[in-house]
């Protein structure tokens, strides 16, 4: 009897194993469960929270419509955070793009110790962000800053002047942008290197024979050809700049005077530290439609300019 049952079961298992339709679904299931539980569920929860009046520790929760959204757009801190987010994202992306282009071009050339340089450039990407940021925190420290120390040593600063890198609004913004650029540069560079190496050498040779100088070659041939893959790098960069707060949390906590407060950090401080979950959710979701639209636009663009 048991023997019979096990063979029936065995036959079923074999049937399942050979059935690509069901086997495929089975193997996809963990990934789908992961996304649904850890991304989908919190996302819909946030959507729901943003139209409610929930607070941390509160026992009741009721639907309030768009009241949270109306409240935040009238809040000067929010407007400031929104502006900061845009500054932070755009300035860092432009810098990343320029620097990644320069780096990728340089790394395409053959030179001694190339792999060491490639490895060093990738390092910020594999190091934990919070650790890296803490390192920068130390470098920006007003008393122990190695930057100040170096500037004093070479005589650019006199001995009593100390630059408060994270203490002055404009300097603080410049500092967080610097760290963010440092952090995103490896990814953008690697993506661009991949793009550059996919352009056939013949095209470069043809441009050289056709008489293109460095700038014409770069801007009319190379850049347009890597544009689709560069778009991917930019898209990643924007998403990180809009949604990530580790650098800002570690370095400035949004200060001084909210001058480096971005939407992600403001949402965290309002919702978790401040306890107003509903408003925090509304802040974090504020840019969601915009980001979705931007992502679609970018991907559409990338497909359109795709080259064969």
Partner 1 sequence: MAIVEARNIRKYFGEVRAVDGVNLATREGEFLVLLGPSGCGKTTLLRMIAGLEKPSAGEIVIGAQVVNSLPPRARKIAMVFQSYALYPHMRVFNNIAFPLKAQGVPKKARKEKVEWAAAMFGIERLLDRKPRELSGGERQRVALARALVREPDVFLLDEPLSNLDAKLRTAARYELQQFQKRIGTTTIYVTHDQVEAMGLGDRIAVMNEGKLRQMGMPQEVYDEPADTFVASFLGSPPMNMVERNNDIVGFRPEHLLPTEVHGTSEHLVTFQFHLSRVEHLGAGRLLYGLLGAPFADQKVIANLASNVMIVFQPGMSYTFAVKTANLKFFDRATGLRIEPRPL
Residue 211 gets which letter from DSSP?
T
Residue 147 CA to residue 126 CA, distance in Å, equals 24
Nearer to partner 1, 205 or 273 (CB): 205
Among 261, 226, 233, 234, which Cα is nearest to 247's?
Answer: 261
x/- map, 258-277, partner 1, by CB under 8 A: --------------------
66 vs 206, which CB is nearer to partner 1? 206
CB of 221 to partner 1, least distance (A): 6
Least separation in angstroms between CB 94 and partner 1: 22
Tell me the β-bridge partners of 52: 63
**Is-contact 96 181, C-beta < 8 A?**
yes
Asked if residues 302 and 125 have their Cβ atoms less than 8 Å apart, the reply is no
Residue 15 vs 216, nearer CB to partner 1: 216
Q: Which of 2, 74, 160, 308 binds partner 1 (CB under 8 A)?
A: 308
Alpha-carbon separation of residue 36 from 30, 124, 190, 244 (angstroms): 10, 30, 30, 21
Per rule CB under 8 A, count of chain residues that contact partner 1: 21
Spatial CA neighbour of 225 closest among 94, 81, 104, 46: 104
Closest approach, Cβ 222 to partner 1, in A, equals 11
Burial class for 207, CB neighbours closer than 10 Å (0-12, 13-18, 19+)? middle
Q: How far is the CB of 288 from partner 1 (least distance, A)?
A: 33
**Nearest distance, CB of residue 209 and partner 1, angstroms:** 5
The residue among 126 and 209 lying less far from partner 1, judged by its C-beta, is 209
3-class state of residue 37 by DSSP: helix
- The least distance separating partner 1 from the CB of residue 308, rounded to whole angstroms, comes to 4
Which single residue is written with the structure tokens 């979705």? 292
> What is the smallest separation between the CB atom of 203 and partner 1, expressed in angstroms?
5
The nearer residue to partner 1, 122 or 212, going by C-beta atoms, is: 212
Question: What minimum distance in Å lies between the beta carbon of 108 and partner 1?
Answer: 16
Residue 171 in contact with residue 235, Cβ under 8 Å?
no
- Considering only residues 141 to 200 of the shown chain, the ones binding partner 1 according to CB under 8 A are 200
Binding flag, residue 42, partner 1 (CB under 8 A): no
For residues 15 and 221, give the distance between their C-alpha atoms in angstroms, rounded to a whole number.
Answer: 54
Q: Which of 3, 26, 23, 27 is nearest to 15 (CA)?
A: 23
Q: How far is CA 66 from the centre of its chain?
A: 28
Q: Is 65 or 211 the residue whose CB approaches partner 1 more closely?
A: 211
Handedness of CA 25, 27, 33, 34 (dihedral sign): negative
Q: Per-residue x/- mask for partner 1, residues 198 to 237, rule CB under 8 A?
A: --x-xx-xxxxxxxxx--x---xx--xx-x----------
Q: Which residues bind partner 1 (CB under 8 A)?
A: 200, 202-203, 205-213, 216, 220-221, 224-225, 227, 305, 307-308
């Amino acid at each position: 009897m048991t023997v019979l049952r096990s063979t029936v079961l065995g036959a079923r298992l074999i049937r399942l194993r050979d059935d690509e339709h069901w086997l495929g679904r089975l193997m996809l299931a963990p990934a789908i469960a992961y996304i649904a539980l850890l991304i989908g569920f919190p996302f819909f929860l946030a959507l729901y929270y943003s139209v409610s009046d929930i607070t941390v520790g509160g026992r009741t929760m009721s639907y309030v419509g768009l009241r949270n959204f109306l409240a935040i757009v009238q809040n000067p801190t929010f407007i400031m955070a929104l502006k900061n987010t845009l500054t932070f994202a755009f300035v860092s992306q432009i810098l990343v793009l320029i620097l990644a282009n320069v780096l990728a071009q340089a790394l395409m050339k053959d030179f001694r110790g190339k792999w060491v340089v490639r490895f060093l450039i990738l390092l910020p990407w594999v190091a934990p962000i919070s650790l890296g940021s803490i390192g920068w925190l130390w470098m920006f420290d007003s008393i122990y800053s190695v930057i100040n120390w170096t500037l004093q040593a070479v005589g650019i600063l006199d001995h009593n002047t100390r630059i408060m890198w994270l203490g002055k609004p404009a300097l603080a913004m410049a500092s967080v942008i610097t760290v963010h650029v440092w952090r995103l540069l490896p990814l953008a560079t690697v993506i661009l290197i991949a793009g550059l190496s996919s352009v056939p050498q013949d095209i470069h040779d043809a441009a050289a024979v056709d008489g293109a100088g460095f700038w014409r070659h770069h801007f009319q041939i190379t850049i347009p050809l890597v544009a689709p893959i560069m778009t991917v790098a930019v898209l990643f960069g924007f998403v990180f700049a809009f949604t990530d707060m580790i650098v800002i949390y570690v370095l400035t906590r949004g200060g001084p005077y909210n001058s480096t407060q971005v939407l992600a950090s403001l949402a965290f401080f309002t919702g978790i530290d401040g306890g107003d979950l509903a408003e925090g959710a509304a802040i974090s979701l504020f840019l969601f439609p915009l980001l979705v639209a931007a992502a679609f636009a970018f991907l559409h663009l990338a497909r359109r300019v795709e080259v064969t």
